Amino acid sequence: MPALHADYPCRPLLIVEPFGQGGGPDLLARALAGPLAQRWRQPVDVRNVTGEGATAAPRYVASAPADGYMLLINTSAHAYSAVTGRALSYDPLQDFVAVLPLTSQPYVVVTSVSTGIQSLDQLIAHARAKPNEATYGSTGIGTGTHIGLAKLNRMCAISASHVPPHPTDSNANAVANAIAGRFTYCMLPIGLALPAIRDDQLVALGVTTVRRSSLLPHVNTIAEAGIAGFDFPIWYGLWVRAGTPADVIEKIADDMASVLRGAELRSWIGEHGGEPMDMPRNEFARFVVAQSTLAKDILTAQ
């Protein structure tokens, strides 16, 4: 029986991402757009829809036709936003179909050089000694940078106040705020924080995965720094609107998986400190729900 939408795609496509130019999802979307355009013989453009704590982009996609011509690349924040208690005009789990996992990589916990803090031990001691003064920043309520530090704070037995960004802040603002010492510490994607770390504006206190990052090989993992068992990567995935025809979703998943297996793209991912996530589509859908539940457990335990 022939596919119902055998001519898909027959017009230009759009990849939407929530964090702005230069952020991980933006860079990944642009790295994927070229090979996808070549494979599909249709233009594939990238649009940055920022703001609202990384929820503007999914809201934008949720309002588009469910035809597979608008794709959402987002981070783990998409799963986490379902359980933060924020009033959203869409349901991150019910209004989207999880198509495919893309990549995974560490975050890095950083502090401004102005704090004088040089290690995770010193940060913990500072936060315990001055619990009413310690603050932590993030790229938005319900993002991985927020959930990850809530988990770290609990495992370190420290109390600190969350300083969320202004709704119009971009990722670049998050780095600038960290450098300026607007908060005591924060967690950022490595690629975003790396220039400021190399320029000695931010101090890297630890990376958040079980293995060190190739981009910061001399920086301890959080577990190596004394918080045994801590593992909290940032992961990227692809979603489309619920209601998109099943055969279109299948084609997107199959073609995206083929592109991700390409040697050139795998090399690009490695150079940017990431690893491909090899996971079947149905398993990824369960993974997204499980990650949402994990975030709820972390936030409930605060």
CATH classification of the domain holding 190:
3.40.190.10
Q: Is residue 3 part of a domain?
A: no
Do both 117 and 194 map to the same domain? yes
| CATH classification of the domain holding 73 | 3.40.190.150
Can you read off the two tokens belonging to residue 6?
A: 């055998």
Residue 65's pLDDT is what? Answer: 97
pLDDT at position 167 over 70: no
> What is the distance in angstroms between the CA of the first residue and the CA of the last residue of the chain?
53
pLDDT at position 259 over 60: yes
Residue 1's pLDDT is what? Answer: 37
Query: For the residues 257-264, what does the mean pLDDT come to?
Result: 93
Report d(CA 96, CA 209) in Å as an integer.
28
State if pTM tops 0.95.
Answer: no
Residue 4's pLDDT is what? Answer: 67
Please list, in sequence order, all residues whose beta carbon lies within 8 angstroms of the beta carbon of residue 290, skipping any fewer than 6 positions away: none
The SS3 assignment for 191 reads helix
Long-range (24+ apart) CB contacts under 8 A made by 121-128 are 121/225, 121/226, 123/184, 123/185, 123/205, 124/156, 124/158, 126/184, 127/153, 127/156, 127/158, 127/159, 127/160, 127/184, 128/157, 128/158
Q: Is residue 228 part of a domain?
A: no
Residue 198's pLDDT is what? Answer: 96
| Predicted confidence (pLDDT) per residue in 136-151, tens digit | 998 888 888 999 999 9
Do both 159 and 98 map to the same domain? no
Report d(CA 90, CA 62) in Å as an integer.
7
Report d(CA 138, CA 262) in Å as an integer.
33
Residue 166's pLDDT is what? Answer: 74
Q: Is residue 80 part of a domain?
A: yes
Q: Is residue 214 part of a domain?
A: no
pLDDT at position 2 over 80: no
Residue 168's pLDDT is what? Answer: 60
Count: domains in the chain: 2
Contact 17/26 with Cβ under 8 angstroms?
A: yes
Residue 278's pLDDT is what? Answer: 84
pLDDT at position 93 over 50: yes
Do both 66 and 116 map to the same domain? no
| Predicted confidence (pLDDT) per residue in 180-229, tens digit | 999 999 999 898 899 999 999 999 999 999 999 999 999 999 999 999 99
More confident position, 185 or 278? 185
Residue 173's pLDDT is what? Answer: 79
Question: For residue 149, what are the domain limits?
Answer: 107-207
Can you read off the two tokens belonging to residue 208?
A: 């958040």
Q: Is residue 221 part of a domain?
A: no
Q: Name the pLDDT band for 84 (thresholds 50, 70, 90).
A: confident
Do both 121 and 167 map to the same domain? yes
More confident position, 99 or 86? 99
Domain boundary among 167, 191, 207: 207
